[in-house]
């Protein structure tokens, strides 16, 4: 049985990705900040016949994140696919937005810790075993601003762009090893446009998690590109 580990699991994209892989025979390890957040997801997946377990950890606590992934490996016998997509839906200390002229070391560093360093930590926890086995998939998610930056999100976009650069470069290094690294940039408002975080801004396209999630399976299966941008249609 193969195992998917989702770092930043939640009731939107995380649950949709878990279902996408779980319905294809994967067990699912769910990682997020609190057990209380994860338990309903485990219960929902279990009701759908998908074996899942919760491993609480904060991505800002690198030791805890590593320990959670180690616990997931011990529980399921390994991790075959890692997906990293933490997205704060409640205030996180130090996590703020800033325009380009307002970016400072103080408001950029937390974004780097959250988006980039957390991803590197997660990858290092699973990559050695994948390389030894000659098989594995590493998937990392950012907003579309990592590709086409948005002024009001300048510090977030800079950290996400650093992650994107690293993922694409990692995939180059891993060529021929059997391990694949891919980046997903989501350039839509996630939800139905009416309830997603209060509703999408005028003119911003929307998509449901269920519409986006199959992209992750496509990248895992086909491995024909290091990046995909979801903007309502699939772009290379």
- CA nearest 63: which of 126, 128, 125, 114? 125
Per-residue model confidence (pLDDT) at position 203: 65
Pairing of strands 189-190, 179-186: unpaired
DSSP 86: -
Per-residue model confidence (pLDDT) at position 233: 47
Q: Which residues contact 84 (CB under 8 A, 6 or more apart)?
A: 7, 8, 118, 119, 122, 123, 138, 139, 140, 141
Q: Give domain status of residue 87, yes or no.
A: yes
Pairing of strands 179-186, 227-230: parallel
Per-residue model confidence (pLDDT) at position 204: 72
Q: Give domain status of residue 88, yes or no.
A: yes
Please give the model's pTM, rounded to 2 decimal places.
Answer: 0.92
Distances (CA, A) of 184 to 28, 50, 84, 109: 20, 24, 10, 22
- CA nearest 190: which of 159, 212, 161? 212
Intervals of the chain under pLDDT 50: 193-198, 233-236
Per-residue model confidence (pLDDT) at position 96: 85
Q: Give domain status of residue 209, yes or no.
A: yes
Q: How many domains does the chain have?
A: 1
Q: Give domain status of residue 199, yes or no.
A: yes
Q: Give domain status of residue 20, yes or no.
A: yes
Per-residue model confidence (pLDDT) at position 90: 53
Strand segments, DSSP code E, in the chain are 3-7, 27-31, 52-54, 81-84, 136-143, 179-186, 189-190, 206-207, 227-230, 234-235
Evaluate the CA torsion angle 109, 114, 116, 120 in order and state its sign: positive
Per-residue model confidence (pLDDT) at position 201: 61
Domain of 109: which CATH number? Answer: 3.40.50.720
Distances (CA, A) of 136 to 131, 195, 223: 8, 36, 11
- Condensed to tens digits (0 to 9), the pLDDT of residues 4-51 reads 999 999 999 999 999 999 999 999 999 999 999 999 999 999 999 999
Per-residue model confidence (pLDDT) at position 209: 94
Per-residue model confidence (pLDDT) at position 191: 77
Q: Which domain holds residue 162?
A: 3-230
Q: Give domain status of residue 235, yes or no.
A: no
| Alpha-carbon gap, residue 213 to 21, rounded angstroms | 9
| Alpha-carbon gap, residue 189 to 64, rounded angstroms | 30
Q: Give domain status of residue 184, yes or no.
A: yes
């Amino acid at each position: 049985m193969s195992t998917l580990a989702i770092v930043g699991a939640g009731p939107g994209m995380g649950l949709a990705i878990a279902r996408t892989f779980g319905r294809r025979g994967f067990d699912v390890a769910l990682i997020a900040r609190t057990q209380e957040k994860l338990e309903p997801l485990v219960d929902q997946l279990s009701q759908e016949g998908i074996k899942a377990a919760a491993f609480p950890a904060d991505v800002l606590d690198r030791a805890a994140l590593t320990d959670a992934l180690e616990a997931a490996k011990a529980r399921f016998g390994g991790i075959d696919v890692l997906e990293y997509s933490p997205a704060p839906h409640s205030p996180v200390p130090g996590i703020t937005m800033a325009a380009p002229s307002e970016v400072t070391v103080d408001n950029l560093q937390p974004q780097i810790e959250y988006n980039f360093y957390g991803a590197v930590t997660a990858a290092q926890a699973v990559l050695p075993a994948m390389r030894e086995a000659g098989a594995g998939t590493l998937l990392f998610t950012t907003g579309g601003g990592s590709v086409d930056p948005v002024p009001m999100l300048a510090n977030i976009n800079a950290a996400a762009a650093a992650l994107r650069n690293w993922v694409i470069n990692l995939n180059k290094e891993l060529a021929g090893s059997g391990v694949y690294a891919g980046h997903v940039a989501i350039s839509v408002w996630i939800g139905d446009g009416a309830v997603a975080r209060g509703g999408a801004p005028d003119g911003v396209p929307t998509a449901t998690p269920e519409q986006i999630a199959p992209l992750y399976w496509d990248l895992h299966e086909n491995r024909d590109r290091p990046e995909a941008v979801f903007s309502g249609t699939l772009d290379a």
